[in-house]
Amino acid sequence: MKKNIFEILLTIFGIGLLIQILLMMKRYDFPIALIFGPILFFAFLDQLNKKIPIIYYFLHFIPFIIVSILFYTLGENQVILFRHIYFITTLSSLFIYPALVIFSKKRDSSFINEKNLILLEILAILGLAIFFFLNIIYINHISNNFTNVYEQLVIISLMVINVGILTWFLISNRFSPSVFNENNSKNLLKQHIFPKKKYN
């Protein structure tokens, strides 16, 4: 079950990235980027065999909920205020959660699947890279310099790399020989422990 939860979280992460790429291309400021940090962190906690209460999920998604409400409620005369809120919350999320995954000391004392850990660290490092380029866009935005096309292209490229890595991981995880061998060994073990009864 643990493995299924991990893969579900990564699938949501990948779908969210694709939506974010489309939103950036349309220059639409819906704050879907605020879900990436919590999902990455939950996937990390899942690999630490930690049972996460439902309320814990909700607390981490409060920034996404609040900024989403502001997105739909603030008027056109408050667009600048919303963009400041959007950038500050997104930058905070893109820094805090990847940093927690990379620098967490808990992984040294807990069992973690090495392949999954490497994947999470790669995603976290790419998240910090996006944080860096998003900082440049925000600085340009504050200084009324809107020539940040290259930074946006870099962020979109990093997101495409993220999607590619996630797709490769999920496909290889599903169809790798080790998975089939594991399933076969489990079936053989069941047959050995619970042999089928022969009827005369």
DSSP 197: P
The pLDDT, as a whole number, for residue 106 is 60
DSSP H or E stretch at residue 188: helix 177-193
The C-alpha atoms of residue 164 and residue 16 are separated, in whole angstroms, by: 13
* Average confidence (pLDDT) over 45-74: 88
Ranges of each domain in the chain: 2-193
To the question of pTM greater than 0.75 for the whole model, the response is no
User: Two tokens at 194?
Assistant: 């619970």
* Average confidence (pLDDT) over 66-83: 87
Could you read off the pLDDT of 143-158 as tens digits, one per residue?
A: 765 556 666 777 778 8
User: Two tokens at 193?
Assistant: 């422990």
Radius of gyration of the chain from its Cα atoms, rounded to whole angstroms: 21
Which of 63-67, 151-155, 189-193 tops mean pLDDT?
63-67
Top pLDDT among 43 and 187 is at: 43
Could you read off the pLDDT of 15-47 as tens digits, one per residue?
A: 988 988 888 888 788 899 999 999 999 998 888
The pLDDT, as a whole number, for residue 56 is 86
Residues 6+ apart with CB under 8 A from 139: none
Could you read off the pLDDT of 98-109 as tens digits, one per residue?
A: 998 888 766 555
